[in-house]
Amino acid sequence: MASAGADPLARRLGVFDSTMIVMGGIIGSGIFVNPYVVAREVHTSPLILGAWILGALTALSGAFIYAELAVLRPNIGGQYAYLQEAFHPGIAFLYGWALLLVMQTGGMAAVAVTFARYSHQLVPYTWPEGLVATLTLLVLSAINCIGVRFGSTVQNVLMILKVAAIGGLILAGFHAPDAAPQPTTEPALSFSLLVVFGAAVVPVLFAYGGWQTASFMTGEMRNPKRDLARALLFGVTGVTIIYISVNIVCLRSLGPLGLAQTTTPAYTVMQKSIGPAGATFMALAISISTLGFLSQGMLTAPRVFFAMARDGLFFSQIAWVPKKTRVPVAAIALQGVMASIVALSGRYEQILNYVVSIDFIFMGLTGASLFVFRKRLPPASAHRTPGHPVTTIFFISCCWLVVLATFYHFPANSFTGLVIVLLGIPVYLFWNARKTGAVSGAPPKGLAS
């Protein structure tokens, strides 16, 4: 077994590479699917766009926070280590535990189910969506276990096709016939409207999520203080422009009611714009886009499980890195198997709900860690969060308001996710006791044979 210290990964990622990682981690299936989920919750164009704008502001404020955290703590492995240093190793373990069982694997399973849904538009088959999603996850796991160079080449090709697909959707959407006038009434401001609007923001934040996974890659960035900070800001801003543009063309072409009535809005817009050939191309491009997102997830999140194993808080075998491939093969395989289990367990909407509620608990805690680090450390010389502490409190509040809205609107799924996280407490106590016992039981250094 090659250790990270004995066989380190090369620092080859610059600002552009890191920006592509940020954008690749965000743009998966959410923007192609979630517009209809939002439109089913709120039924007017201003409220639909308002939900996406609020999501953009939340993501951008979070990117500013993570940019400063990258300056303060550039070389310690991202969000997992931020929580470990700011609060307690147990909190960091629960984050990794939730990442494995709920957040990353659940999100990847949801995207894999979406791939199955769109690929069915291209090649009709009778297999269940969950089975197709599982096979996809296992194949991508195998590809990323071959080596980082091969996996990166596949990822680059998929990313180019992904951007081309979205650009084609936007251009075609602006040339599509306008939707027929639809009778809509602006609802009066009330508590029930705020609850519904909060539910609409949940899938929006899921679509914007993923930018934080770039922090797992700091060990491979040439200058993580500069590269990660700039990449977060450039990447989130770029995705915001893309997402708002996509929603504008969807509303222009389909209208709020038409958008709510289709489960494949991007496919429907392209079909209306340039006919069956364009829609077929769009389905192919979206399928490739989701594959690219899954490939990126296979490369980033397993590094957290690898770090947990290296910290003595998980099975030591998960830290296995072959010298030939120099990738965490065991962690990648674990990720693929767990995501496959989630893909077979329920529908896309169910997975989405408990992923978001738990993810934003830890994102809120990470935002709060900035207050801890600022108190402990001297001021950073660059990339200080604009408007802190107001913008930091805004981000934390948005995270936990989404958590409350999700628990209120989807209590069964949200509590299921929470129970899974809490089950990690005895697991942490077990691994920590085992680690402490191993250390205390070791022979004195001078007597070791």
- Residue in this structure with the two tokens 């509620």, named with its chain if needed: 357
Range of the domain at 400: 15-379+391-438
Q: Which residue has the higher pLDDT, 418 or 13?
A: 418
Confidence of residue 424 (pLDDT cuts 50, 70, 90): very high
The confidence score (pLDDT) of residue 1 equals 44
Q: Which residue has the higher pLDDT, 337 or 70?
A: 337
> Is residue 325 one of the residues assigned to a domain?
yes
The confidence score (pLDDT) of residue 351 equals 63
> Is residue 203 one of the residues assigned to a domain?
yes
> Is residue 117 one of the residues assigned to a domain?
yes
Instruction: Note the pLDDT tens digit of each residue in 378-412.
Output: 765 556 888 889 999 999 998 888 788 778 777 88
- Residue in this structure with the two tokens 């590094």, named with its chain if needed: 303
One-letter amino acid for residue 233 of the chain = L
Q: What is the model's pTM?
A: 0.82
Q: Which residue has the higher pLDDT, 117 or 439?
A: 117
Q: What percent of the chain has a predicted confidence (pLDDT) above 70?
A: 87
Confidence of residue 3 (pLDDT cuts 50, 70, 90): very low
> Is residue 306 one of the residues assigned to a domain?
yes
> Is residue 3 one of the residues assigned to a domain?
no
The confidence score (pLDDT) of residue 422 equals 93
Give the DSSP letter string of 167-204.
HHHHHHHHHSPPPPP----PPPP-HHHHHHHHHHHHHH
Instruction: Note the pLDDT tens digit of each residue in 178-233.
Output: 766 666 666 666 777 777 887 788 788 878 888 888 888 777 777 877 888 888 88
> Is residue 386 one of the residues assigned to a domain?
no
Q: What is the mean pLDDT of residues 283-303?
A: 83
Q: Which residue has the higher pLDDT, 237 or 7?
A: 237
The confidence score (pLDDT) of residue 366 equals 94
Confidence of residue 277 (pLDDT cuts 50, 70, 90): confident
Domain CATH number, residue 258: 1.20.1740.10
Q: What is the mean pLDDT of residues 93-120?
A: 84
Cα-flanking dihedrals φ and ψ of residue 325, to 5°? -90, -30
The confidence score (pLDDT) of residue 108 equals 85
The confidence score (pLDDT) of residue 178 equals 72
> What is the gyration radius of the CA atoms in the chain, in angstroms?
22
What is the count of structural domains for the chain?
A: 1
The confidence score (pLDDT) of residue 381 equals 56
C-alpha 58/C-alpha 131 separation (Å) is 35
Confidence of residue 440 (pLDDT cuts 50, 70, 90): low
> Is residue 449 one of the residues assigned to a domain?
no
Which of 199, 396, 407, 161 has its CA nearest to residue 292? 161
What is the separation of C-alpha 42 from the centre of its chain, rounded to a whole number of angstroms? 24
C-alpha 179/C-alpha 432 separation (Å) is 59
C-alpha 361/C-alpha 338 separation (Å) is 21
Burial of 373 (0-12, 13-18, 19+ CB in 10 A): middle
> Is residue 131 one of the residues assigned to a domain?
yes
The region of weakest confidence among 3-12, 241-250, 268-277 is 3-12
Q: Is the link from the previous residue into 389 a cis peptide, with omega within 30 of 0?
A: yes
Is the pLDDT score of 60 beyond 60? yes
C-alpha 90/C-alpha 23 separation (Å) is 30
The confidence score (pLDDT) of residue 52 equals 92
The confidence score (pLDDT) of residue 379 equals 64
Residue 26: both structure tokens together: 């965000």
Mean pLDDT of the residues in the chain = 81
The confidence score (pLDDT) of residue 53 equals 92
Is the pLDDT score of 99 beyond 70? yes
Q: Which residue has the higher pLDDT, 46 or 209?
A: 46
Is the pLDDT score of 150 beyond 80? no
